[in-house]
Amino acid sequence: MRITQTSVALLATLLFAALAAGPALAAPEKRVKPATQKKTATTQKKTVTTQKKNVVAQKRNVRKASIAPGIEAPDQDAGRLALQSGAVVVVDQEDGDALYRKNADAVVPIASITKLMTAMVVLDSIPDLQAPITITDEDVDYLRGSRSRLGVGATISRETALLLALMSSENRAANALGRHYPGGLPAFVAAMNRKASELGMHHSRFEEPTGLSSNNVSTASDLARMVAAAHRYPLIREFSTTPGAQVEVSGRLLDYNNTNSLVKSPTWDIGLSKTGFIHEAGKCLVMQARVANRPVVIVLLDSAGKLTRIGDANRIKRWMESAASGRRPLTHA
């Protein structure tokens, strides 16, 4: 075959074009193996999971940081204490030291905790406890409509009225005690406030003897003083911790029970007890008790829910017993 110059030129042109095309004639790319694709997908999933965990942790940190001052976050450490009641004081009676304080100086309504002051003022007057007291329309609760089995016209002894006021928080009995005070109800309320001043309850004010008025106010610190003072009255100790009693009212035997279920508990050694509730005050509970072989005063105010105050009391008990058994200091910060 004869190769001419024209043929050579044509071949050179074709070769140059092939070299210029480059990528089109390049070797095909290697296919990614399925195993490699799976590893890549797994890595991506791990990255997403880690990001989600970081977001959850950030939210948790924000929630902890947003807890209001004076409100403690729950702590799983047995040596620490976190309570749900709005205001709390736990005081060692032997040395007067506060073992726990939370919003202790906030002035708040105290509901039927009032009746401890009512009982002290009644007993301070050294009355005839067997004298009859008659329930009248003046003792009926027209403010909140609370119920009572002491009908208008019923007559009971002053001692029975005191028992029902302390054990079962009977409002008509408490009001009748105030009415039968020398000088009547105005003199009784004046004596309540005078007694509070004598006890150093400088942030407390009483308007009536039942606690139905939200104008009966105090602080957890002041109430700790009141509980300690009331504990010095044997009859208040006895009546406030009586689990239940049968009382004759207008010829009928009626069963009354203590409003604090803990007085029936074999695990508690309670020397004084009083509960209270109105909407403005929340659920309240004050006690004198012996816990971990120490006499203490416990004040729980503004508890939400039916069982919160009882739950807080039991948490305080476990906290003190745990610290005593482990010889650890009581901490709650």
pLDDT tens for each residue of 193-241:
999 999 999 999 999 999 999 999 999 999 999 999 999 999 999 999 9
Does residue 73 form part of some domain? Answer: no
Task: Give the bridge partners for 255, in sequence order.
Answer: 246
Is residue 59 situated within a structural domain?
Answer: no
- Strand pairing partners for 291? 294
**Domain residue limits at 202:** 87-326
Residue 50 lies in a domain: no
Please check whether residue 16 lies inside any domain of the structure: no
pLDDT mean over 63-79: 34
Reply yes or no on whether the pLDDT at 273 is more than 90.
Answer: yes
The predicted structure's pLDDT at residue 58: 40
pLDDT 10s digits, 116-138: 999 999 999 999 999 999 999 99
Has this prediction a pTM greater than 0.85? no
How far apart (Å, rounded) are the C-alpha atoms in residues 303 and 312? 9
- Asked if 176 and 162 touch (Cβ cutoff 8 Å), the reply is no
Please state the domain count of the chain: 1
Residue 324 pLDDT greater than 50, yes or no: yes
CB 113 within 8 A of CB 286: yes
From the CB of residue 216, how many other CB atoms can be counted at a distance below 10 Å? 27
Torsions phi, psi of 259, nearest 5?
A: -75, -10
Q: Which amino acid is at 93?
A: Q
Query: Looking at residue 79, what is its pLDDT?
Result: 54
Report the distance separating Cα 204 and Cα 110, nearest Å.
10
Residue in this structure with the two tokens 């790319």, named with its chain if needed = 29
- Partners of 218 in the β-ladder: 108
- The catalytic site residues sit at 112, 115, 169
As beta bridge partners, residue 136 has: none
Tell me the C-alpha distance between 44 and 276, whole Å: 59
Helix ranges (H only) for the chain are: 5-21, 34-65, 114-124, 158-167, 171-179, 184-198, 220-230, 234-240, 308-326
Token digits of residue 23? 């990528």
User: Do the domain assignments include residue 37?
Assistant: no
Q: Is the dihedral of CA 275, 277, 280, 283 positive or negative?
A: positive
Q: pLDDT by residue (tens digit) across 4-57? A: 444 445 444 444 444 444 444 344 444 444 444 445 545 555 544 444 444 334
The residue among 166, 133, 157, 156 whose CA lies nearest residue 235 is 166
Partners of 271 in beta bridges: none
Mean model confidence pLDDT for the chain = 83
Radius of gyration of the chain (CA): 38
- List strand residue ranges (DSSP E) for 211-281, in order: 217-218, 244-249, 252-257, 270-278
Q: Which of 97, 245, 78, 105 is nearest to 168 (CA)?
A: 245
The answer as to whether 258 is a domain residue is yes
CATH number at residue 234: 3.40.710.10
DSSP state of 300: E
Written as six digits, the tokens of 268 are 């508690």
Contact between 205 and 107 (Cβ < 8 Å): no
Residue 262 belongs to some domain of the structure? yes
Confidence band for 331, pLDDT divided at 50, 70 and 90: low
Residue 329: the pLDDT is 58
Q: Which residues contact 204 (CB under 8 A, 6 or more apart)?
A: 196, 217, 218, 219, 222, 223, 226
What pLDDT, on a 0 to 100 scale, did the predictor assign at position 60? Answer: 38
| Distance of alpha carbon 117 from alpha carbon 223, whole angstroms | 10
What phi and psi values does residue 327 have, to the nearest 5 degrees? 55, 40
Residue 63: inside a domain, yes or no? no
